[in-house]
Structure 1
Amino acid sequence: MTTEPDATLRALADAGFPIDTFTEEQRAVFAGLSAAELELILDIKRRLDAVEPEVQAHAVVAGAALF
């Protein structure tokens, strides 16, 4: 399965990637992802999002301990 560049960028945007802030070069790299690469990045993003509150809580505790 291959992905179209616009569909790839749309999928990334739908997943919460800030594609509007990407440089043209970065957009070109992301637009050229294979279907497997896109799915991997989206899977990683989903997993990171799933633990985000926990990670943020640890960052606050760790940050407070350091300062």
Structure 2
Amino acid sequence: MSFINKATIKDFRFESLNEENNDLIFVGILSIPNTDFENDFHLTISENGKSKFEWIDYESED
């Protein structure tokens, strides 16, 4: 069995500031080398330093 020991974040950038609670929202693409896995994500960092990682599910947005 092979375990994944490396992933690459591509196109990581600032997307917006939620002015209601001062959260910074970033977007990027997580890619795992030598596989077909590549998925977009949001990373939200709150004013108190907490972070939240979420996959972007484009299929459920339709």
TM-score (norm 2): 0.26
Q: Relative contact order, CA 8 A, sep 6+: which one is greater?
A: 1
Structure 1 or 2, whichever has the larger Rg, is: 1
Structure with the higher fraction of residues in helix conformation? 1
Return the TM-score normalized by structure 1: 0.25
User: Higher strand proportion, which one?
Assistant: 2
